[in-house]
Each structure stands twice: as structure tokens, then as C-alpha cells.
Amino acid sequence: MGKRVTINDLAVGGEGVGRLEDGRAVFVVGSAVGDELLIDLTEEKKRYARGRIVEVLSPGENRRDPPCPNVVKGCGGCDWQHLNQDAQIDAKLSIVAQSLERLGSISPPDIGYVSGPEEKNYRTTMRVGVVDGHAALRKARSNELIQLEECVVAHPMIEDILANGFFHTASDVTIRVGSRTGDRLVMGEPVADGFSLPDDVRVVGRNEARKGAEAFVFEEAAGIEWRISAQSFFQSSPEGAESLIGLTAEWLSVQDVGEQVMVDLYAGVGLFSGTVGDWFEKVTAVESSKSATRDAQHNLGSHVSIHQLEVEKWTPELADVVIADPPRSGLRASGVEVIRLTEAPHVVLISCDAGALGRDARLLTAAGYELDQIDVLDMFPQTSHVEVVSGWIRQA
Ligand SMILES: C[S@@+](CC[C@H](N)C(=O)[O-])C[C@H]1O[C@@H](n2cnc3c(N)ncnc32)[C@H](O)[C@@H]1O
């Protein structure tokens, strides 16, 4: 039988949280603060449960009709379509503050908010599933796929491929576009046999790419043309990339920063080495992915020395500044130890997961760094994903 619950907070993962009669927390996907709901329990543990909305009995004041037609079909691509924009912003700030307090044991200074790209049509890379040869997205908390021809957050050049592409027997496809250059690329998993796509789209199978087949787009950001291969990471949009560079440069420019050595950890195709790196005599970029390293070699000048290996395996060198932009798992103890050994007086940490930020904050503090500035950059509107830029100063 359904249970009644009132939602009183949003959790790090984006779900609403309420309390069951027995005191356990219950996490409900697609809910908003203030919602009174009838739910079914989908998972039960000793201390918490998960639920699915059966009926919204009374909507919270921040609930809205999702702007995307795929939400009613169950698409799980964007988990906050049902929240109005102001509520999304407040929730992101609150989730970051809570994570710093609870996991990082830090009372944060004021957390800044910087709007990212447009609310819609911003994503220039998307990985989607395939059903009967057509693009599909996963339902929330499920492996079930639903076909889609439009997507509110996809760049129109991607939407065109979603609607008109045929991907034969591939299980997944990665679609990447250079929104400012017009380049388009599709990578099929595991192969791209039998694909039907507009003539301008470059096509590659992941198996071929693994064996060294080169397939890339060019994208423009911060006045630079970046080569980005199918398998390399790039920020969700060139506008988002520019905001990240801007926040990093702004904070460093008001610090008394040495100009000799910058270390760019988790460097990707070289976004920070190729921009902020110009202020330094020498830049060291460390990146584990082969394709991203190859792109970085193409994108970066000769004052950058590029190391293709895991950060944990790199031999730290003394630095004036470290910029670290790890994947969702964060720096962890091993990454923080590498930073500590560089003795860098200034560190910029870019975090794409609030929980990892909290854990890294605790580790950085223990390694002798103090949080000086922190900003949430809203790179992923309509979703609970956060991108956070924080500036850290080593204490003498
Ligand atoms: C969030 S991306 C950031 C890339 C780049 N800074 C940018 O802004 O475009 C994280 C990058 O770290 C790389 N990576 C993941 N784990 C790594 C590790 N242990 N050591 C080095 N690089 C790693 C990934 O391949 C990816 O390129």
C-alpha cells in the first residue's frame, strides 16, 4: 500500500528526502521540497528507503511542469526538470554547503553562484543508448531505454542527429559537436557498422578508436581552437569551459602568485594549460587518457610538458600553482598527497561532485590548505549536477 510523505530537503544525488512514520529517511526521485506525496517503496534498508511517486497530493511551491516532453515518458536524463530555476540554484548552493560542513568539517565562506550556459540546448557531447537503431535515453534508476527525437538540453546540432541518425546494432553512441565550428562526430559502441547519418558527420567505432583510428572535432573556446577526440573529455559546452577558465583566472589574479611553474592535474585536452598556463614560464600537464594526451599535444605549446600517466604515479615537482580537475571520484587521499608534495602555495580545485568536494576539502585541510573562495558554476541546468571551483591557500 502507498505511503504518504512530505519532502523537506534535496539530497546530494538530487532526490527529495522525507521521513517515513518509523523515522527512516526516504529518498524520492522527481520530488520537490514541500511536496506531499503518495509513494511506493522501491527499496528498503534498515536506516533509509527509496520511493517512487504514485501521486502528487499537494505540490511544493517550487514544483513546475517539466519543460521537456521526455520527462513524462520517464526519461532520466535530467533529474530536476520539475524544479523551477530559482529552486535549482538554491538547492545547488545548499547541497555544496552541506557537503562542506558534513563531509569536509568546514564552515564555508560565502558560496558564490555563477550562471553557466543557457538553460536549454547547451550540451555539446551526449552519450545515448540505442533501441531498434534509434537514439534512446535511460529511464530514471532503470536500464530501460526510451527512444527520443528531441532533448531540451542537447545542442540543436546534436538534436538533429538524435532525430535523424540510424545506429544499426550499436549498444551506445557518443555524439559530439563543435558548436562554434560546426564539426560533428559520432562514435558507436562497439562498432559503427551500418550507421546512417548526415554526410558531414564523422563516424568511428570505439573498437577502431581504441586501435588508434583518429576521429575528432574542433571546438573554439577562450579564443583557441581545441582538438577533441571522440574518447577525450571536454566540458559540457564552450561557454561552460570559458566560465571555468574565467573563475580560475579571476581568483589567481588577485592572489600573490609566483609565475614560474604551474601544474595541471587531470589536464584533459589541455584547457587550463593552454589558457591560464600562458602566465607561467613552465607548465606540467598530467593526464591518464591516451586520446586526451594526444589532443593536448596538438593543442598546447612547447612550454607545456605533457605526461600521460595517472596523477598518483606522477613524481611531484615543486609548483607555484596547481590546478586540479579530477573526475567525479575526486582527488582522494592519493591526489591530495601529490598536491601536498608540490608545496604549491595556491591550488584551484574543480569538483564535479558535491560529495567528492566535501571529502577532498577535509583532506586538503589536513594537508595544510585553507579554503579561500568557492563558487558554484551552473554548468548543468535542469540537473542536480554541480560544478564547483574552489581556491585554496597553503598555510605557512
Ligand atoms: C573532469 S576531466 C577534466 C579535464 C580538463 N581539466 C578539462 O577541463 O577539460 C578529468 C580528466 O581526468 C582524467 N583522469 C581520470 N583519472 C585520472 C587519473 N587518475 N590521473 C590522471 N588523469 C585522470 C580523465 O581522462 C579526464 O580527462
Q: How far is the CA of 272 from the centre of ligand 1 (A)?
A: 12
- Give 387's contacts (C-beta < 8 A, 6+ positions apart): 116, 240, 244, 350, 351, 352, 376, 377, 378, 379, 380
- What integer pLDDT is reported at residue 374 of this predicted model? 97
| Alpha helices, DSSP H, located in the chain | 85-102, 156-164, 206-210, 238-253, 290-299, 332-342, 354-366
- What integer pLDDT is reported at residue 139 of this predicted model? 85
- What integer pLDDT is reported at residue 297 of this predicted model? 97
- Is the confidence at residue 1, as pLDDT, over 90? no
Q: Ligand 1, closest atom to CA 326?
A: 10
266 Cβ closer than 6 Å to some ligand 1 atom: yes
Q: Ligand 1, closest atom to CA 335?
A: 19
The mean pLDDT of 183-188, rounded to a whole number, is 98
Q: At what angle do helices 332-342 and 354-366 cross, to 10 degrees?
A: 40
- Residue 125 bridge partners (DSSP): 176
Determine if the peptide bond prior to 108 is cis (ω within 30°).
no
The mean pLDDT of 28-38, rounded to a whole number, is 96
Quote the CA–CA distance of 358 and 97 in Å, as a whole number: 9
- What integer pLDDT is reported at residue 74 of this predicted model? 84
Backbone φ and ψ for 260, nearest 5 degrees, come out as -90, -55
Quote the CA–CA distance of 278 and 153 in Å, as a whole number: 33
User: Are the C-beta atoms of 311 and 338 separated by less than 8 Å?
Assistant: yes
Q: Which residue has the cell 595517472?
A: 310
Q: What is the pTM of this model?
A: 0.95
Identify the band that residue 214 occupies on the pLDDT scale cut at 50, 70 and 90.
Answer: confident
SS3 360: helix
Mutate to test the pocket of ligand 1, among 247, 266, 269, 323 (most ligand atoms within 8 A of CB): 266
- Is the confidence at residue 184, as pLDDT, over 90? yes
Q: How far is the CA of 309 from the centre of ligand 1 (A)?
A: 10
State the cell numbers at 151: 532533448
- What integer pLDDT is reported at residue 108 of this predicted model? 77
Q: Could you please report the per-residue DSSP string of 225-277?
A: EEEEETTS---S-HHHHHHHHHHHHHHHHTS---SSEEEEES-TTTTTTTTGG
226 Cβ closer than 6 Å to some ligand 1 atom: no
The mean pLDDT of 214-225, rounded to a whole number, is 96
SS3 340: helix
End-to-end CA distance of the chain: 60
Mean pLDDT across the chain, nearest whole number? 95
Q: How far is the CA of 270 from the centre of ligand 1 (A)?
A: 10
The mean pLDDT of 3-22, rounded to a whole number, is 94
Identify the band that residue 181 occupies on the pLDDT scale cut at 50, 70 and 90.
Answer: very high
286 Cβ closer than 6 Å to some ligand 1 atom: yes
- What integer pLDDT is reported at residue 147 of this predicted model? 87
Quote the CA–CA distance of 113 and 355 in Å, as a whole number: 18
- Is the confidence at residue 118, as pLDDT, over 90? no
Quote the CA–CA distance of 230 and 217 in Å, as a whole number: 8
Count CA atoms closer than 13 A to 374's CA, side-chain side: 24
Identify the band that residue 150 occupies on the pLDDT scale cut at 50, 70 and 90.
Answer: confident
Identify the band that residue 246 occupies on the pLDDT scale cut at 50, 70 and 90.
Answer: very high
311 Cβ closer than 6 Å to some ligand 1 atom: yes
159 Cβ closer than 6 Å to some ligand 1 atom: no
Cα angle for residues 268, 241, 261 (degrees, 5° grid): 55
Q: What is the pLDDT of residues 290-313, one digit of tens each?
A: 999 999 999 999 889 999 999 999
User: Are the C-beta atoms of 61 and 34 separated by less than 8 Å?
Assistant: yes
Q: How far is the CA of 266 from the centre of ligand 1 (A)?
A: 4
Q: Which residues of 188-206 are buried (b: 16+ CB within 10 A; e: fewer)?
A: bbebbeebebeeebbbbbb
Backbone φ and ψ for 336, nearest 5 degrees, come out as -65, -35
Q: Which residue has the CA at smallest separation from atom 6 of ligand 1?
A: 267
Mutate to test the pocket of ligand 1, among 233, 243, 309, 349 (most ligand atoms within 8 A of CB): 233
State the cell numbers at 227: 582538438
Q: Which residue has the CA at smallest separation from atom 20 of ligand 1?
A: 310
- Is the confidence at residue 182, as pLDDT, over 90? yes
310 Cβ closer than 6 Å to some ligand 1 atom: yes
- What integer pLDDT is reported at residue 389 of this predicted model? 98
Handedness of CA 207, 156, 376, 61 (dihedral sign): negative
Q: Could you please report the per-residue DSSP string of 293-306?
A: HHHHHHHS-TTEEE
- Tell me whether residue 372 is exposed, middle or buried, using C-beta atoms within 10 angstroms of its C-beta: 0 to 12, 13 to 18, 19 or more: middle
- Is the confidence at residue 14, as pLDDT, over 80? yes
Q: Which residue has the CA at smallest separation from atom 5 of ligand 1?
A: 268
Identify the band that residue 141 occupies on the pLDDT scale cut at 50, 70 and 90.
Answer: confident
Q: Which residue has the CA at smallest separation from atom 12 of ligand 1?
A: 266
Cα angle for residues 370, 371, 372 (degrees, 5° grid): 110
Give the DSSP H or E segment for 314. Answer: none
- What integer pLDDT is reported at residue 4 of this predicted model? 96
Mutate to test the pocket of ligand 1, among 232, 287, 291, 348 (most ligand atoms within 8 A of CB): 287
- What integer pLDDT is reported at residue 113 of this predicted model? 96
Q: How far is the CA of 287 from the centre of ligand 1 (A)?
A: 6
Q: Which residue has the cell 559502441?
A: 189
Q: How far is the CA of 237 from the centre of ligand 1 (A)?
A: 16
- What integer pLDDT is reported at residue 331 of this predicted model? 98
